[in-house]
Amino acid sequence: MGEQHRKISPLKCVVHGCEGRQRSLRMCDFHYLRHHRGLPLDMPRHEKLHYGEQRKLHHGYVIVTHQGKDREEHRVVVEEWLGRPLLRSEVIHHINGLRDDNRLSNLEIHSRGSHRALHNREANPPSYCPIQGCPHLVNVRGYCHKHYWQVKNGKIPGFKLLGVKTAKSIVKEIKG
């Protein structure tokens, strides 16, 4: 008596009418890729988007089809304004931080390094001296240079130095 082999049929894609085999998110590879790119799942396979039709990717940028290729709209806007393609080293910065606001007045061209520095400054804004009315940046233990010495010498009551104790100050504490 021979063993009967049961043929296991793979699960089908959840998109209506698709006979593809499930992979990720219960979709076939084709529909998963469409979902990932922000394309409509029910669009026929042969249909292409035309320039002017927009969609957003999961990271917030607007994607358009320009000259037969999917491109980020902010890059297309700046390239058309410049009259030349952007270099790979050129990055477009959205001034107001909204990735879908692609008005020319909201876009700036940066090198990769200057764009990184800009975002580092936004994440870590400069600190100013806490003494009222002082416009200087902090550079020594929480105060500007001038006020550091005044606080250290006790000339400004109510303020203490920030930071690590020095060996000299620890010896003074021990000797009392």
> pLDDT by residue (tens digit) across 80-101?
999 999 999 999 998 888 887 8
Which tokens go with 2? 């021979």
**71 and 41, same structural domain?**
no
SS3 content of the chain, % helix, strand, coil (to 5): 30, 15, 55
Strands 62-66 and 107-111: unpaired
**114 and 57, same structural domain?**
yes
Q: Is residue 5 part of a domain?
A: no
Q: What is the pLDDT of residue 47?
A: 46
Domain count along the chain: 3
- Give the range of the structural domain holding residue 131, as residue numbers without chain letter: 126-176
Cα 80 to its chain centre, rounded Å, is: 24
Is 140 or 2 the better-scoring residue by pLDDT?
140
C-alpha–C-alpha distance, residues 105 and 92, integer Å: 12
pTM of the model: 0.45
Closest CA to 76 of 110, 96, 60, 52: 52
For tokens 């060996």, what's the residue?
Answer: 167
